[in-house]
Amino acid sequence: MQQQFPNRPFRTHGGAPVPHHKNTWSEPSAVMPPPERVVIPMQQHIGAPCKPVVKKGDHVYVGQVIGDNDAFVCAPIHASVSGTVSAVTKVLLTGGQTTEAIVIDSDGQMEHDPSIAPPPPVTNKKELAETARKSGLVGLGGAGFPAHVKLNVPEGKSIDTLIINVAECEPYVTSDHREALENGRNVLEGIYKVKEILDVHRVLIAVEDNKPDVIAKLTEIADDPQKDPKDEVRVLTLKSRYPQGAEKVLVQACTGRKVAPGQLPADVGCLVMNIASVSFLASYMRTGMPLTLKRVTIDGSAVKSPKNVIVPIGTPIKDVVAFCGGYKAEPRKILMGGPMMGIAITSDELPILKQNNAILAFDEAEARQYATTDCIRCGRCVAACPMELMPTKLEKAVEKKDVDALLSLDIMTCMECGCCAFSCPAGRRLVQAIRLGKSYVRKAGKK
């Protein structure tokens, strides 16, 4: 018998009441003209990097494959502008790794690859995964996990619930918000296609309650009088509390099911897709145009005119900021992503990637760091941790480089959401300590 879920979310542990700062939610997305040059890294997803399949001097079209790899956990990369390959070089990514990158000088024409055509009708799970791979789709909410791997549900796993992630719980970021308002019909088209192929009858569109316009818009579209009464496609309003959009937290909030350490949502019968991902998949099935554009929130106290911008992937960040009026103050810190889980970057010469959902630039006043003090044993970090870990004990084990203690404290379960550090009155650098501890575990060769 199909499990019935209540109309309100289930309770989850921890979290933090972070400020919203959703400054750009009400303004329609702006489309940026093609830049003079794009730099497209071959590593824009979790898994094996792509290998360039073009060389210096080649002419390329929008949507043409320029990088690929036979590895299963890998997604092809496509040219985002038409023009000439001026170099195949190396770039340093935000995580500190170096990867190959293809530099394309735009001809300004944005000519599409002549071979682009709508893919054949998708009728089964294998074809759905193959179509997702050809499109170049990776998780657009920030994780960058190749979509075809997620959609390739392992044998023996039964999916009964599709969860569409519209929580967007990070401060400032509103790119998914605009996706819902501007492409709502596309979102529902993608949802119905995925649920049909995977034979899933329950779809929960999870939205935080600080987005009433999104809730109204998607509820209106989801309440289709023509739909099969056996199907359940509905909007579930979540409490606005970070990190509500984290995959494991979202599964528990929507279904009451807990994803244990080492497990994936598929192990508890769930598939989670970001709203932008499912919307793009519908667009690709209709047009055949692969992933070449990305909607990015540009905001922060150092940005003159914050907005959501649709840009070609590989566009230098400095060009996107210039499109938003430039800097109104010297940026003291630039983040790729939100302020809780985003990564500070060293230069705005870096390009926009597939999984980027925001670029935030902060001035001196907002970027300054406060001095840490001794831990006062208040326990707020423990109360805030959505994974029910003990950050203070983890920090102590890191100081001692005690790998066995780190493993016994389940350090690898930490998703580095930052709730512990946000809640700490002593300003302890808990996330940095945990990241360091994870590196100790990896170096020790233990899982």
Dist CA 316 CA 232 (whole Å): 42
Q: Which residues pair with 327 in a beta bridge?
A: 303
Backbone angles phi, psi at 251, to 5 degrees: -60, -45
**pLDDT tens-place values along the chain, 447 residues long:** 355 566 788 989 999 999 999 999 999 999 999 999 999 999 999 899 999 999 999 999 999 999 999 999 999 999 999 999 999 999 988 877 899 999 999 999 999 999 999 999 999 999 999 999 999 999 887 778 899 999 988 887 889 999 999 999 999 999 999 999 999 889 999 999 999 999 998 999 999 999 999 999 998 877 665 555 556 888 999 999 999 999 999 999 999 999 998 888 999 999 999 999 999 999 999 999 999 999 999 999 999 999 999 999 999 999 999 999 999 999 999 999 999 999 999 899 999 999 899 999 999 999 988 899 999 999 999 999 999 999 999 999 999 999 999 999 999 999 999 999 999 999 999 999 999 999 999 999 844
Q: How many other CB atoms are there within 10 angstroms of residue 111's CB atom?
A: 16
pLDDT at 399: 96
Backbone angles phi, psi at 365, to 5 degrees: -65, -40
Using a cut of 0.85, tell me whether the model's pTM lies above it. Answer: yes
Nearest to 289 by CA among 175, 136, 146: 136
CA distances (Å), origin 418, targets 17, 141, 197, 353, 440:
12, 17, 37, 23, 20
Which residue carries 């501890």 as its tokens? 437
pLDDT at 225: 52
pLDDT at 144: 83
306-333 burial string, b = 16+ CB within 10 Å, else e?
A: bbbbebbbbbbbbbbbebbeebebebeb
User: Pseudo-torsion of CA 207, 139, 322, 91, nearest 10°?
Assistant: 150
Nearest to 105 by CA among 90, 78, 87, 93: 87
Query: What domains are there in the chain, each with its CATH number?
Result: 34-112 (2.40.50), 125-287 (3.40.50.11540), 292-368 (3.10.20.600), 380-443 (no CATH)
**Sheet order of strands, 358-362 included:** 30-31, 307-312, 293-299, 358-362, 333-336, 343-345
Dist CA 143 CA 170 (whole Å): 14
216-230 burial string, b = 16+ CB within 10 Å, else e?
A: ebbeebbeeeeeeee
